Structure 1
Amino acid sequence: MYRAGDQLANEEWIEAIEAVADRLDLGETARSRATDVFLSNLPDEKRSKQAVLAASVYVGALVAGERRSQSAVAEAADVSRLTVQQRWKELLEETGFDAPEW
Protein backbone atom coordinates (compact mmCIF):
# COMPACT_ATOMS: atom_id res chain seq x y z
CA MET A 1 0.00 0.00 0.00
CA TYR A 2 1.07 3.58 -0.43
CA ARG A 3 0.80 6.79 1.55
CA ALA A 4 -1.37 9.74 0.54
CA GLY A 5 1.80 11.79 0.14
CA ASP A 6 2.98 9.40 -2.56
CA GLN A 7 0.06 10.45 -4.72
CA LEU A 8 0.96 14.13 -4.39
CA ALA A 9 4.67 13.52 -4.91
CA ASN A 10 3.99 11.57 -8.10
CA GLU A 11 1.29 13.72 -9.63
CA GLU A 12 3.11 13.98 -12.98
CA TRP A 13 3.24 10.17 -13.20
CA ILE A 14 -0.44 9.85 -12.33
CA GLU A 15 -1.20 12.32 -15.12
CA ALA A 16 0.91 10.14 -17.43
CA ILE A 17 -1.16 7.10 -16.41
CA GLU A 18 -4.29 9.06 -17.33
CA ALA A 19 -2.80 10.00 -20.70
CA VAL A 20 -1.92 6.37 -21.48
CA ALA A 21 -5.37 5.26 -20.31
CA ASP A 22 -6.94 7.87 -22.63
CA ARG A 23 -4.97 6.48 -25.58
CA LEU A 24 -6.22 2.99 -24.72
CA ASP A 25 -9.81 4.12 -24.01
CA LEU A 26 -9.78 2.59 -20.52
CA GLY A 27 -12.56 3.09 -18.01
CA GLU A 28 -12.35 4.57 -14.53
CA THR A 29 -11.86 1.22 -12.75
CA ALA A 30 -8.86 0.31 -14.91
CA ARG A 31 -7.35 3.77 -14.36
CA SER A 32 -7.84 3.56 -10.62
CA ARG A 33 -6.31 0.08 -10.43
CA ALA A 34 -3.36 1.19 -12.57
CA THR A 35 -2.73 4.15 -10.28
CA ASP A 36 -2.95 1.95 -7.18
CA VAL A 37 -0.53 -0.60 -8.65
CA PHE A 38 1.90 2.14 -9.70
CA LEU A 39 1.87 3.91 -6.33
CA SER A 40 2.20 0.60 -4.47
CA ASN A 41 5.30 -0.33 -6.48
CA LEU A 42 7.13 2.98 -6.87
CA PRO A 43 10.68 2.47 -8.07
CA ASP A 44 13.44 4.66 -6.70
CA GLU A 45 15.03 5.37 -10.05
CA LYS A 46 13.23 7.82 -12.32
CA ARG A 47 14.15 5.83 -15.43
CA SER A 48 12.33 2.79 -14.02
CA LYS A 49 9.10 4.69 -13.44
CA GLN A 50 8.05 4.64 -17.10
CA ALA A 51 8.40 0.84 -17.17
CA VAL A 52 6.40 0.43 -13.94
CA LEU A 53 3.81 2.86 -15.28
CA ALA A 54 3.33 0.79 -18.44
CA ALA A 55 3.12 -2.51 -16.55
CA SER A 56 0.71 -0.91 -14.04
CA VAL A 57 -1.63 0.17 -16.83
CA TYR A 58 -1.52 -3.34 -18.28
CA VAL A 59 -2.32 -4.84 -14.86
CA GLY A 60 -5.03 -2.25 -14.16
CA ALA A 61 -6.75 -3.03 -17.44
CA LEU A 62 -6.42 -6.77 -16.88
CA VAL A 63 -7.88 -6.65 -13.36
CA ALA A 64 -10.72 -4.39 -14.49
CA GLY A 65 -11.67 -6.78 -17.28
CA GLU A 66 -10.57 -4.33 -19.98
CA ARG A 67 -7.68 -6.36 -21.24
CA ARG A 68 -5.42 -4.71 -23.81
CA SER A 69 -2.49 -6.32 -25.58
CA GLN A 70 0.99 -5.83 -24.20
CA SER A 71 1.93 -4.27 -27.53
CA ALA A 72 -0.92 -1.74 -27.38
CA VAL A 73 -0.04 -0.75 -23.81
CA ALA A 74 3.66 -0.52 -24.65
CA GLU A 75 2.96 1.70 -27.64
CA ALA A 76 0.62 3.97 -25.65
CA ALA A 77 3.21 4.26 -22.85
CA ASP A 78 6.18 4.66 -25.21
CA VAL A 79 8.09 1.61 -23.95
CA SER A 80 8.96 -1.71 -25.56
CA ARG A 81 6.57 -4.65 -25.40
CA LEU A 82 9.34 -6.58 -23.67
CA THR A 83 9.29 -4.01 -20.85
CA VAL A 84 5.62 -4.72 -20.17
CA GLN A 85 6.10 -8.47 -20.61
CA GLN A 86 8.94 -8.62 -18.07
CA ARG A 87 7.20 -6.63 -15.33
CA TRP A 88 3.46 -7.20 -15.31
CA LYS A 89 3.24 -10.57 -13.53
CA GLU A 90 5.46 -9.44 -10.68
CA LEU A 91 3.40 -6.27 -10.20
CA LEU A 92 0.16 -8.22 -10.35
CA GLU A 93 1.31 -10.69 -7.69
CA GLU A 94 2.88 -8.01 -5.47
CA THR A 95 -0.43 -6.21 -5.51
CA GLY A 96 -2.21 -9.32 -4.26
CA PHE A 97 -3.73 -10.75 -7.43
CA ASP A 98 -3.04 -14.12 -9.01
CA ALA A 99 -1.65 -14.23 -12.51
CA PRO A 100 -3.99 -15.79 -15.09
CA GLU A 101 -3.24 -19.30 -16.31
CA TRP A 102 -3.37 -18.65 -20.08
Structure 2
Amino acid sequence: MYRASDRVEHEEWIAEIEQAGEALDLGSDARSRAVDLFLSTLPEENRSKRATMAASVYVGALVAGEERSQTAVADATDVSRLTIQQRWKGILEAAGLEAPDW
Protein backbone atom coordinates (compact mmCIF):
# COMPACT_ATOMS: atom_id res chain seq x y z
CA MET A 1 0.00 0.00 0.00
CA TYR A 2 1.11 3.56 -0.48
CA ARG A 3 0.60 6.90 1.25
CA ALA A 4 -1.42 9.77 -0.17
CA SER A 5 1.77 11.84 -0.17
CA ASP A 6 3.31 9.34 -2.62
CA ARG A 7 0.67 10.36 -5.14
CA VAL A 8 1.68 14.02 -4.84
CA GLU A 9 5.41 13.31 -4.76
CA HIS A 10 5.27 11.21 -7.91
CA GLU A 11 2.68 13.11 -9.89
CA GLU A 12 5.02 13.39 -12.91
CA TRP A 13 5.11 9.57 -13.11
CA ILE A 14 1.34 9.39 -12.75
CA ALA A 15 1.06 11.87 -15.62
CA GLU A 16 3.28 9.58 -17.71
CA ILE A 17 1.03 6.63 -16.88
CA GLU A 18 -1.95 8.69 -18.03
CA GLN A 19 -0.16 9.64 -21.27
CA ALA A 20 0.73 6.00 -21.94
CA GLY A 21 -2.86 5.01 -21.18
CA GLU A 22 -4.07 7.57 -23.68
CA ALA A 23 -1.61 6.37 -26.34
CA LEU A 24 -2.72 2.77 -25.74
CA ASP A 25 -6.42 3.71 -25.61
CA LEU A 26 -6.81 2.22 -22.12
CA GLY A 27 -9.90 2.79 -20.04
CA SER A 28 -9.97 4.47 -16.66
CA ASP A 29 -9.93 1.14 -14.76
CA ALA A 30 -6.68 0.04 -16.43
CA ARG A 31 -5.09 3.44 -15.81
CA SER A 32 -6.18 3.50 -12.19
CA ARG A 33 -4.82 0.00 -11.61
CA ALA A 34 -1.53 0.99 -13.25
CA VAL A 35 -1.20 3.99 -10.92
CA ASP A 36 -2.00 1.85 -7.87
CA LEU A 37 0.50 -0.80 -8.92
CA PHE A 38 3.20 1.77 -9.60
CA LEU A 39 2.76 3.52 -6.25
CA SER A 40 2.56 0.21 -4.40
CA THR A 41 5.80 -1.14 -5.91
CA LEU A 42 7.71 2.13 -6.16
CA PRO A 43 11.46 1.54 -6.25
CA GLU A 44 13.82 3.81 -4.35
CA GLU A 45 16.23 4.22 -7.26
CA ASN A 46 15.18 6.82 -9.82
CA ARG A 47 16.57 4.80 -12.71
CA SER A 48 14.18 1.95 -11.89
CA LYS A 49 11.06 4.10 -11.82
CA ARG A 50 10.56 4.20 -15.59
CA ALA A 51 10.79 0.41 -15.81
CA THR A 52 8.36 0.02 -12.91
CA MET A 53 5.99 2.53 -14.48
CA ALA A 54 6.04 0.69 -17.81
CA ALA A 55 5.49 -2.73 -16.24
CA SER A 56 2.67 -1.27 -14.12
CA VAL A 57 0.92 -0.03 -17.25
CA TYR A 58 1.26 -3.48 -18.80
CA VAL A 59 -0.07 -5.25 -15.69
CA GLY A 60 -2.82 -2.66 -15.14
CA ALA A 61 -4.11 -3.27 -18.65
CA LEU A 62 -3.82 -7.04 -18.24
CA VAL A 63 -5.73 -7.08 -14.93
CA ALA A 64 -8.43 -4.78 -16.31
CA GLY A 65 -8.99 -7.09 -19.26
CA GLU A 66 -7.53 -4.62 -21.77
CA GLU A 67 -4.39 -6.57 -22.61
CA ARG A 68 -1.86 -4.81 -24.79
CA SER A 69 1.34 -6.30 -26.17
CA GLN A 70 4.59 -5.74 -24.34
CA THR A 71 5.90 -4.07 -27.48
CA ALA A 72 3.00 -1.60 -27.61
CA VAL A 73 3.42 -0.72 -23.94
CA ALA A 74 7.19 -0.42 -24.36
CA ASP A 75 6.72 2.00 -27.24
CA ALA A 76 4.18 4.07 -25.27
CA THR A 77 6.41 4.27 -22.18
CA ASP A 78 9.79 4.64 -23.87
CA VAL A 79 11.39 1.45 -22.54
CA SER A 80 12.46 -1.78 -24.19
CA ARG A 81 10.12 -4.75 -24.43
CA LEU A 82 12.71 -6.74 -22.49
CA THR A 83 12.38 -4.32 -19.57
CA ILE A 84 8.67 -5.04 -19.31
CA GLN A 85 9.21 -8.75 -19.83
CA GLN A 86 11.64 -8.84 -16.90
CA ARG A 87 9.47 -6.89 -14.45
CA TRP A 88 5.78 -7.48 -15.02
CA LYS A 89 5.43 -10.78 -13.15
CA GLY A 90 7.10 -9.37 -10.04
CA ILE A 91 4.65 -6.47 -9.99
CA LEU A 92 1.72 -8.81 -10.52
CA GLU A 93 2.84 -11.08 -7.70
CA ALA A 94 3.53 -8.10 -5.39
CA ALA A 95 -0.13 -7.20 -5.87
CA GLY A 96 -1.11 -10.68 -4.72
CA LEU A 97 -2.16 -11.90 -8.16
CA GLU A 98 -1.03 -14.87 -10.18
CA ALA A 99 0.37 -14.62 -13.66
CA PRO A 100 -1.80 -16.07 -16.42
CA ASP A 101 -0.79 -19.51 -17.63
CA TRP A 102 -0.38 -18.92 -21.35
Q: Is the structural similarity TM-score above 0.5?
A: yes
Residue aligning to 2:98 = 98
For 1:56-67, list aligned pairs within 5 A.
56-67=56-67
**Structure 1, residues 39-70: CA drift from partner, whole Å, max 9, x if none?**
00011111110000000000000000000000
Cα distance in 2 for residues equivalent to 1:27 and 1:67: 11
Runs of 4+ in 1 over 3 A off after TM superposition: none
Structure 2 match to 1:33: 33
How many residues of Structure 1 are paired with residues of Structure 2 in the alignment?
102
RMSD over aligned CA atoms reads 0.4
Structure 2 stretches lacking a partner, 5+ long: none
> Which residue of the partner structure matches residue 74 of structure 1?
74
Q: How many Å apart are 1:96 and its aligned residue?
A: 1.1
Q: Distance in 1 between matches of 2:43 and 2:94?
A: 13
Residue 87 of structure 1: SS of its match in structure 2?
A: helix
1:55 maps to 55
**Which runs of 5 or more residues in structure 1 are unaligned?**
none
